[in-house]
Structure 1
């Protein structure tokens, strides 16, 4: 777990330095709408502390659980009771583009499989 990075956009959002459409927050996590939505509902859930990816967040089970619980809360708030997808891209080869752990909450339409 590393300290917040001044050049990390998600650290800046978590600290309130960049405006975001925040839907929910908790002690350890923040949920906000994605600026480039890939589904009718596309929300990002990030840990408040800088962690490079979900694999590293797994070393801190309480914070990982907090992010998943917040994702479920947002899915319920957004009316996704009939189904939603949680996606975590880990590493450049998986198309992770911001190297701060985050979950994508996707829903509002039928989601196909396989996703990639």
Structure 2
């Protein structure tokens, strides 16, 4: 059976019925969207279905870039990598430049 998104009302549009009850996915109630007041009415504002995919794609591209940069090297064999946001030195050259270095040292022993 295909997934079915249903917006449930207590009856057909009329003066005494047609009030919103809930949103269901395959018969199970779900929380979806956000209720916002708009003058004398209320709106159920639904999120852009592609927004999360765009964010995930951007995060994936950033991760791929991190892996590629961390593994790159020039002819001298010196490794390059992304810069630490705290001390602005390459992660591959990290010494005792910032609090991140201390954290990396502590966690290296646990690995």
TM-score range, shorter chain: under 0.3
Larger RCO, structure (CA 8 Å, separation 6 or more): 1
Bigger proportion of residues as helix = 2
Calculate the TM-score normalised by the size of structure 2.
0.24
